[in-house]
Amino acid sequence: MRLSRMVAAEDFRRAARRRLPRIFFDYIDGGASAEATLAANVADFGRYRLRPQVLRDVAVRRLDADFLGGRHALPLMLGPVGSLGLFRAGAEAASFRAARGVGIPACMSSFAITDPETLLPLAGSGGAFQLYVLKDRERTEAILDRIAACGAESLFVTVDTSVSGIRERDIRNGLRVLSRPGPRMIADFLAHPLWLADMVRVHPVRMALARDWPEAGCGYLAQAAFLAGQIDPSFDERGLAWLRSRWNGRLIVKGILTVKDARRCVDLGADGIVVSNHGGRQLDGVSSSVAALAEIGAALAGRAEILFDGGVRRGGDVVKALALGASACLLGRAYVYGAVAGGEAGVATVLATLRAEIDMTLALMGFASVDELRAAGTNALEVTTGVA
């Protein structure tokens, strides 16, 4: 299907599935354990219904929004997604360019392939870096210095990954033995020639952060395994206080699901949080992101910046999240599928689709701007009991 005919996240998802070997599609698409939280992230948006008002002048509409200390064209940003460059050559830079093209920020992942020196300047204003605090604090500090020098304005510290979630699809598909592929995996690679040609062209792929770490090995897979093993499972409140003292820019804590944790982060000096369960990839069985947002938004709106991710696939999802107290949504899989399907043009098409849906939803709800919607808050919604 041509990009111009793709109108919903599911279209991009199908296109990504066709282009990628199964092992990579499942890595993106899948979640932890029984994938209950993964499914709930999408399904629970159905618990909130839009409450429209008619006879309102919506002839002139504005979708720009304040978050991360700036005014951005849409209440959206690209969230951090590791390994993106393994799914399509140049997909990280392409995604950052597409975000800049529509005037929204993007966040680089610790697991990115592209150097921060290349990627972060592409972000325009509002460039952000996602950090995993490492056992080696000197190395963590070196990362902070490096990304500050590249112009990162905001640091997103991810705190829901003290250990990795168990992703059954990845184990079944043999992700751990990717560097020694068997005949089935090789056949799968050969059956996806566009992806294969891309990877041959960019071989060897390396992880940006590991450039100066000789013991991380060479090659992306070894380096990513090394980095995952370096994430500090003892990172706690004292660690966050240390990070606050060490980072002068905006500090956002990503991976918060309860009011209590949100308050602790703010009390320790964080400027904001991302209500997130890592897209259902970490602890399965926790509440959906949108259900957590409803509680956190009610308790904390106005006290700290509340960003949101998890299950955002449509403009209506974004509108619901903003009504529940988020200042903006981070996109995850929604833009990754676009990047895989069509590079920069693919992400631009995803963003244009979301923009059109947000615009239409606001207009039909009787709001002339994102600011009006946010001021109305939960009055713009009706909560149903149970799932829709």
Q: What does the alpha-carbon distance between residue 28 and residue 16 come to, in Å, rounded to a whole number?
A: 10
Nearest approach in angstroms of CB 22 to ligand FNR is: 14
Compute the radius of gyration of the chain from its Cα atoms: 20
> Given the structure tokens 């509340």, which residue do they identify?
306
Nearest approach in angstroms of CB 169 to ligand FNR is: 12
Binding to ligand FNR in span 302-361, by CB under 6 A? 309-312, 331-334, 336
Binder of ligand FNR out of 81, 324, 328, 347 (CB under 6 A): 81
Nearest approach in angstroms of CB 57 to ligand FNR is: 34
According to the binding rule CB under 6 A, does residue 79 interact with ligand FNR?
yes
309: nearest Cα among 329, 292, 287: 329
Count, residues in the chain: 388
Nearest approach in angstroms of CB 350 to ligand FNR is: 12
265: nearest Cα among 125, 155, 164, 339: 155
Q: Which is nearer to ligand FNR, 152 or 367 (CB)?
A: 152
Q: Which is nearer to ligand FNR, 126 or 366 (CB)?
A: 126
Binder of ligand FNR out of 3, 15, 28, 292 (CB under 6 A): 28
Binding to ligand FNR in span 269-298, by CB under 6 A? 276, 278-279, 281
According to the binding rule CB under 6 A, does residue 72 interact with ligand FNR?
no
The active-site residue, picked from 72, 192, 203, 278, is 278
Q: Do β-strands 272-275 and 250-256 pair in parallel, antiparallel, or remain unpaired?
A: parallel
Query: Distances from the Cα of 105 to the Cαs of 85, 101, 152, in angstroms?
Result: 19, 10, 11
**Count residues contacting ligand FNR (CB under 6 A)?**
25
137: nearest Cα among 18, 26, 208, 234: 234
100: nearest Cα among 70, 69, 82, 77: 77
Binding to ligand FNR in span 151-170, by CB under 6 A? 158
Task: Determine whether 72 is an active site residue.
Answer: no
Nearest approach in angstroms of CB 29 to ligand FNR is: 8
According to the binding rule CB under 6 A, does residue 21 interact with ligand FNR?
no
Q: Which is nearer to ligand FNR, 308 or 367 (CB)?
A: 308
- State the burial class of residue 229 (Cβ atoms within 10 Å of its Cβ: 0-12, 13-18, 19+): exposed
On whether the CB atoms of residues 370 and 62 are closer than 8 A, the answer is yes
Which of the residues are catalytic?
278
What are the residues binding ligand FNR (CB under 6 A)? 28, 41, 79-82, 109-111, 130, 158, 254, 276, 278-279, 281, 309-312, 331-334, 336
